[in-house]
Structures are given as structure tokens and as C-alpha cells.
Amino acid sequence: NAGVTQTPKFQVLKTGQSMTLQCAQDMNHEYMSWYRQDPGMGLRLIHYSVGAGITDQGEVPNGYNVSRSTTEDFPLRLLSAAPSQTSVYFCASSYSRGGGNTGELFFGEGSRLTVL
């Protein structure tokens, strides 16, 4: 199993450009999420999904869109990039609530985004 796969690993954008960070998992996890990591601030939840067709906002959703058309994929879209979105982005997945699951997350390797 590949686990959680994120692409691209590195990206440089100019202010106002759009792009999509891709995330795919092959563990049949119902729950998927996107976090951003900034120095001294830990990980902050952007958006999450508890299953195909269902998404919800996290702590810092502004400027980002998501969709979940399949169980495997959970892309994160930046519609008009801003320098404040310079960060490292992590996709994570887990089994959903129930069945004794405790929700530990499996993380991708991260995507480092720089917005000039």
C-alpha cells in the first residue's frame, strides 16, 4: 500500500494564481482532511470530509475549496493564491467513527507551497 500520496511536493505560485493540491489514499479510509503547518502554530485544520460527497470546514478554511467525489481522492484548491497561504500542506486520512476506531491519522509527506 502506498498510504497517503500528495502531489506536488513543491510548488511556487504568483499572487492571484490558482492551483490544486492532490491527495489520494489507498486504505479505504472514509475520513480525509487537509492541514497547514506554519512555524510555531502546529497544524491547523483547513477542510475535512467524512465520506464521499460530504465536506466541512475546519479552523482556517478561507481561500480554500475542497470536494470529495470518490473515497480515494480529496483535492485542495486555492482559487486565488495569496502570500499568507505560503505554508506546508498535509493531507491525512483515517477510519471514521464507529467500529471501535479511534481516529489516529495517517499523513502524507506534505506539499510545500510558496506564494510570491
Partner 1 sequence: AQSVAQPEDQVNVAEGNPLTVKCTYSVSGNPYLFWYVQYPNRGLQFLLKYITGDNLVKGSYGFEAEFNKSQTSFHLKKPSALVSDSALYFCAVRGATDSWGKLQFGAGTQVVVTP
Would you tell me which residues interact with partner 1 (CB under 8 A)?
A: 4, 31, 33, 35, 40-45, 48, 50, 56, 58, 90, 92, 96-97, 102-110
CB closer to partner 1, 4 vs 13: 4
CB-CB contact of 45 with 58 (8 Å)? yes
Burial of 74 (0-12, 13-18, 19+ CB in 10 A): buried
CB closer to partner 1, 40 vs 62: 40
CB closer to partner 1, 82 vs 97: 97
